[in-house]
């Protein structure tokens, strides 16, 4: 079956498709009804061609794997995954209440309402962490509400699993939404996924009670300076208990930042709890998981191998990836280089493919290849030019698990010879792996 666009169509003889609910860059979401049980569900329709074109299949696999692991009353449930030749279908729990964000944009919430959502959020995140899952993109837009007004965490596309950690026990991929990101995530030095999620929860609590962000500035660098120093001001209607709790959550030092377990013991947090906070997950519904397993296998992604490959690369910080937060607009990444010796391009290919292609180009140009650590490939010419032997360093940065920035820099030799070689030989030879060169718009 092709893309479902019309109401009343039945998907794979199981789900009757209803109204359109929304869309993202690579997916559309529809309301649907189980033909046999009449249960309401949401179906996320993902375009395979678009996903594979930009190399986001790993992200799809991660989202499926994580949602199958985290079964909790306050996490949106994934019932099953199906696929056709051109589409992938996520059959999800239907959150009738929509995004929590829609409530926040109308203004601050009452203290008791904000506390209820915060209790449910922390309960779900605490459970996720116990399963070795870190969300990494918590914000009101990713928090949905069911028909009873209970919170449901969604969108685990940027989540990280415990096995993604490096030998130092920290995560190194910078991601998340700028205003909600923890200061240590910006630093490129690695971060504890659990502590980073706690920070985002603190920002969400502030937003629920204030109706606006704690860290906001039209100047991005100034906003990150405020985040780094945890420089914010609580409005006068915040109770003293909330101010004290926020001080412990929005602690710029992750080593002393409060944990989810300690938050759940906080007196203000524990007020008006109905039978305590749920820490155990709910049982897996009686659905056939065969389709889900089949889709995972068909995507053919080896997450462990991918993780090892990524561990060898450098990572861009949040200043670098901010331009990707709105529809993958890469223009912000391609500011004019400080030196005339640099050329940059974005690729949606795996790092191994990029390195392999660069090696092929080097051999074609009769350059010697000298590999270096941290995703740097050094290429040295075989004959001397006007200013000695031409040497080019190609460094690969991870922007997201599926996008890489490659910076090619002349470290020796004549600049004019370098740019001539770039134009006439290097750029044409790399066309198969380049998504966009510096100063050029990416092509979808």
Report, as residue numbers or ranges, the catalytic residues: 137
Bridge partners of residue 396, in order along the sequence: 406
* 44 labelled binding-site residue: yes
Residues 418 and 72: beta-carbon distance below 8 Å? no
Query: Could you tell me where the beta strands, DSSP code E, fall in 84-163?
Result: 87-93, 98-99, 133-134, 143-145, 151-153, 160-161
Taking CA 177 as the corner, what is the angle to CA 187 and CA 241, rounded to the nearest 5 degrees? 85
Q: What is the CA radius of gyration of the chain?
A: 24
- DSSP helix/strand/coil, 21: strand
Token pair 């089949």 is found at 294
Alpha-helical (H) ranges within 275-414 are 290-299, 303-310, 318-321, 351-364
Smallest CA-to-CA distance from 44 within 87, 1, 7 is with 87
Widest Cα–Cα separation across the chain: 79
Smallest CA-to-CA distance from 198 within 112, 147, 126, 271 is with 126
Smallest CA-to-CA distance from 290 within 83, 113, 63 is with 83
Interatomic CA distance for residues 146 and 75, integer angstroms: 11
Give CB contacts under 8 A, 24+ apart, made by 39-43.
40/94, 40/96, 41/15, 41/79, 41/91, 41/92, 41/93, 41/94, 42/91, 42/92, 42/93, 42/94, 42/95, 43/4, 43/11, 43/15, 43/17, 43/89, 43/90, 43/91, 43/92
Interatomic CA distance for residues 187 and 184, integer angstroms: 5
The dihedrals phi and psi of 342, each to the nearest 5 degrees, come to -110, 145
Interatomic CA distance for residues 375 and 363, integer angstroms: 18
Bridge partners of residue 78, in order along the sequence: 92
Residues 131 and 70: beta-carbon distance below 8 Å? yes
DSSP category for residue 191: B
Pull the structure tokens for residue 5: 């666009």
User: How many Cβ atoms sit within 10 Å of the Cβ of residue 186?
Assistant: 18
Four-point Cα dihedral 421, 422, 427, 430, nearest 10: 80
DSSP category for residue 281: P
- DSSP helix/strand/coil, 31: strand
Question: Residues marked as binding for ATP?
Answer: 44
Question: Residues marked as binding?
Answer: 44
């Amino acid at each position: 079956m092709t893309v479902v666009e019309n109401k009343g169509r039945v998907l794979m003889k199981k789900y009757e498709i209803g109204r359109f609910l929304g869309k993202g860059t690579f997916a559309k979401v529809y309301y649907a009804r189980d033909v046999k049980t009449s249960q309401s569900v949401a179906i996320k329709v993902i375009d395979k061609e678009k996903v594979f074109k930009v190399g986001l299949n790993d992200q799809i696999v991660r989202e499926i794997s994580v949602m199958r692991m985290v079964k909790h009353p306050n996490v949106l449930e994934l019932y099953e995954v199906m696929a056709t030749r051109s589409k992938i279908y996520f059959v999800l729990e239907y959150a009738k209440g929509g995004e929590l964000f829609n409530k926040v944009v109308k203004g601050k919430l009452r203290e008791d309402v904000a506390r209820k959502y915060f209790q449910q959020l922390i309960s779900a995140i605490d459970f996720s962490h116990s399963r070795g899952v870190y969300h990494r993109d918590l914000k009101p837009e990713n928090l949905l509400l069911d028909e009873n007004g209970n919170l449901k965490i969604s969108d685990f596309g940027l989540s990280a699993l415990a096995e993604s950690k490096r030998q130092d026990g920290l995560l190194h991929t910078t991601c998340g939404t700028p205003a909600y990101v923890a200061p240590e995530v910006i630093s490129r030095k690695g971060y504890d996924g659990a502590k980073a999620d706690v920070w985002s929860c603190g920002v969400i609590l502030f937003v629920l009670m204030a109706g606006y962000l704690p860290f906001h500035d039209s100047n991005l660098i100034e906003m990150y300076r405020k985040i780094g120093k945890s420089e914010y001001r609580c409005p006068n209607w915040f109770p003293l208990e909330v101010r004290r709790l926020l001080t412990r959550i929005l602690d710029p030092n992750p080593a002393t930042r409060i944990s989810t377990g300690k938050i759940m013991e906080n007196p203000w947090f524990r007020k008006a709890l109905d039978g305590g906070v749920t820490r155990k997950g709910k049982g897996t519904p009686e659905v056939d998981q065969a389709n889900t397993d089949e889709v995972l296998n068909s995507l053919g992604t080896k997450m462990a191998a991918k993780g090892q490959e990524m561990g060898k690369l450098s990572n861009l910080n949040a200043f670098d990836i901010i331009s990707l937060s709105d529809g993958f607009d890469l223009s912000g990444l391609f500011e004019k280089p400080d030196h005339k010796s640099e050329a940059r391009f974005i690729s949606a290919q795996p790092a191994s493919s990029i390195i392999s292609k660069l090696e092929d180009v080097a051999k074609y140009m009769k350059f010697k290849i000298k590999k270096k650590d941290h995703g740097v490939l050094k290429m040295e010419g075989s004959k001397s030019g006007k200013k000695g032997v031409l040497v080019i360093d190609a460094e690969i940065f991870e922007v997201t698990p599926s996008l890489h920035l490659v910076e090619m820099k002349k470290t020796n030799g004549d600049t004019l010879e370098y740019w001539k070689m770039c134009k006439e030989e290097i750029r044409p030879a790399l066309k198969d792996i380049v998504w966009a060169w510096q100063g050029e718009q990416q092509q979808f």
